[in-house]
């Protein structure tokens, strides 16, 4: 895996720019608000647990969300900066123990989105984990870019998410997690 350089020393953002403007030399970004990196947002009939990665000027450059597809299924959505090398895909690692490859679902002029199913193994890894790393390849430089999300606070937000979902559902949305 490529070495990472602190994002804050590399970024000067004018939106919308290609991924190369966000990252150079295999840089990494991290989720910004260390006091509360994972949040819960509920709207009509839907909730999500999410975190965002920020540039040094506060611009969101990436986000990850876990959402309820229905009363019993979860899925994850990654919003990634424009300019990733699509044939290389996206890889998500949780503490280098669990690895998955989300499917790219669409791209626009300013972002791409990827989606993945959320199993009980993934939830357990997120709850017990320290770091989630999203790896992409810059289409301009063909260098690995890692976007790092701290998992601090994930468990608390996920428990609140379950309470919200379960209070409006007759089916309990709680993957079985064996210890």
Structural domain boundaries in the chain:
7-166
Predicted pLDDT of residue 169: 55
**pLDDT given for residue 31 in this prediction:** 52
Its CATH class, for the domain covering 7-166, is mainly beta
pLDDT confidence of residue 40: 93
**What is the three-class DSSP state of 81?**
strand
Chunked in runs of 10, what are the mean pLDDT values of the chain (179 residues)? 35 31 43 67 86 88 89 88 91 94 94 94 96 95 94 95 75 43
Give 147's strand partners. Answer: 29, 134
Element at 126 (helix H, strand E): helix 120-128
């Amino acid at each position: 895996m490529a070495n990472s350089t602190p994002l804050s020393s590399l970024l000067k953002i004018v939106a919308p720019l290609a991924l190369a403007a966000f990252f150079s030399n295999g840089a990494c970004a991290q989720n910004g608000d260390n006091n509360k990196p994972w949040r819960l947002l509920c709207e009509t009939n839907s909730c999500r647990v999410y975190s965002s990665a920020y540039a040094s000027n506060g611009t969101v450059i990436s986000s990850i969300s876990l959402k309820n597809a229905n009363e019993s299924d979860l899925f994850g959505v990654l919003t990634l900066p424009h300019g990733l090398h699509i044939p290389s895909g996206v890889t998500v690692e949780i503490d280098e123990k669990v690895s998955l490859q989300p499917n790219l679902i669409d791209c626009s002029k300013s972002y791409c989105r990827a989606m993945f199913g959320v199993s009980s193994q993934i939830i357990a890894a997120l709850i017990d984990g320290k770091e989630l790393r999203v790896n992409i390849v810059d289409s301009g430089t063909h260098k690995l870019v890692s976007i790092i999300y701290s998992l601090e606070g994930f468990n608390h937000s996920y428990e609140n998410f379950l309470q919200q979902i379960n209070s409006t559902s007759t089916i309990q949305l709680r993957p079985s997690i064996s210890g």
